[in-house]
Amino acid sequence: MIKILIISGEPSGDFLGANLISALRKKVKVESSRGISFQGIGGPLMEDEGFISLIRQERINKMGFIEILFNLFDLLKVLRTVSNYCLAWKPDLIVTIDSPEFSFRLSKRVKKNLKTTPIVHYVMPSIWAWRPRRLEKIRSFVDHILALFPFEPKLAEINKISCEFVGHPVVSKKIPAVQDIVILRKKLGIGNNEPIMAVMPGSRRSEIKNNLPIFLDTIKMVAAIYTDLVFVIPAVSEVEDMVVGKVSKFRVKTGLNVLVLSQKSFDIANDFENLKFSLFRTAAIALAASGTVVLELARTGVPMVVGYRAHYINELLIKALVKTEKANLIDIIANSNEIPEFVFSNCTPENLSKAIKLLLNDPTLTAKQLELSRGVMKSLGFGGANPGDRAAESVINFVKSYEKKLPLI
């Protein structure tokens, strides 16, 4: 039995992990008669692929200095539990997915004892944005990196770390069919001709706390002018109780038609991603927190405005450490300045609503955004092999060349 430990700490990592597991199963089945077992920390998508979760990923899905500090005791407990299990189980391969603060601490601990076990990290840390010397430190316990962006392998090469660009998973996500959009609108009670604004305040509880109140005030200002707009907020299971609670109070207070697309409310746990993308596909415009979601909006061709707030201590740290002038991935990848973006103290309802009005009123601005989005998708691997398959191929090829080979064949 081939034993692979995988660590994923957030929903985007769950998606990456599920695709990697599926692709590895297929490739290993072709090359070997041995079975394969996946265990570690993961989410529902990985579990659907036969993954065994020792601990739910929500326990390590923490972001920013303050949230990590408040959950430090539990994070350390999880770290000890998983590292001890790993040392006892002795996996043939370890794959950590994003969540670098937790992943690298675990890898460093484990590597001291399992010196010949290859460790692959999926999603290169954003050294091009901040803390560029991190790669120098991790090369002693990370053997290979799967990169999502095409410019990252050169950065890894400078630091003498094996790295391969495998494509970004957003390019493999299917564009919903017309029927999917019809189903979504019916579920939400929205007429086929009613315009929709999609609102994404974040996928972490700290992001909901900091962004959602500002986004709701922005909705109020936009709705005063565009009275026919329907506002829809998709909420992943980890935060939907917070989102539903705050939106319910907002609706009672304002009488505005703000809807929440949540797994519990619509009993759609299995096809939430499809419905979320159907929402994006049919939306006239989007207001989003900075993060992976901006790439999903670009994939579905939605003009957007980006905003982000954080705890004031986190904001001070980010301002001191981050090197990039922009926060949204579209402008960072394309080296452009096309996406209206307002972060920290600039993220106000006044600024956000003004930018939304400009986009709604000026088709030229919308066209520029969509053209930029298409170029970014192409650079991330759109039109090529599936990123999950490329990641699995990269893992297998690396392990074959590793000094102590994992017996995949």
**Domain with 271 in it: what CATH number?**
3.40.50.2000
- Please report which confidence band the pLDDT of residue 311 belongs to, taking 50, 70 and 90 as the band edges: confident
- Per-residue pLDDT of 241-268, as tens digits, reads 999 999 999 999 999 989 999 866 655 5
Give the pTM: 0.82
Element (H, E) at 211: helix 205-223
Q: Residue 318 pLDDT > 50, yes or no?
A: yes
**Number of structural domains the chain divides into:** 2
Chain center to CA of 361? 30
Q: Are residues 158 and 193 in the same domain?
A: no
Q: Are residues 130 and 68 in the same domain?
A: yes
Q: Are residues 154 and 287 in the same domain?
A: no
Structural domain contains residue 323: yes
Pairing between strand 258-262 and 52-56? unpaired
d(CA 29, CA 35): 8
Mean pLDDT in residue range 359-382: 96
Element (H, E) at 387: helix 387-401
Q: Residue 33 pLDDT > 80, yes or no?
A: no
Residue 368: exposure state from Cβ atoms within 10 A (0-12, 13-18, ≥19): middle
Q: Are residues 137 and 200 in the same domain?
A: no
Domain that holds residue 164: 2-168+383-401
Q: Are residues 158 and 186 in the same domain?
A: no
Lookup result for tokens 């997915």:
97
Q: Are residues 266 and 387 in the same domain?
A: no
Chain center to CA of 14? 9
Spell out where 312-374 has E strands: 341-343
What is the pLDDT, as a whole number, of residue 60? 80
| Neighbour count for residue 403 (Cβ, 10 Å) | 7
What are the residues facing 231 on neighbouring strands? 197, 258
Q: Are residues 163 and 288 in the same domain?
A: no
d(CA 330, CA 327): 9
Q: Is 160 helix (H, G, I), strand (E, B) or coil?
A: coil
Element (H, E) at 246: helix 240-254
d(CA 388, CA 393): 9
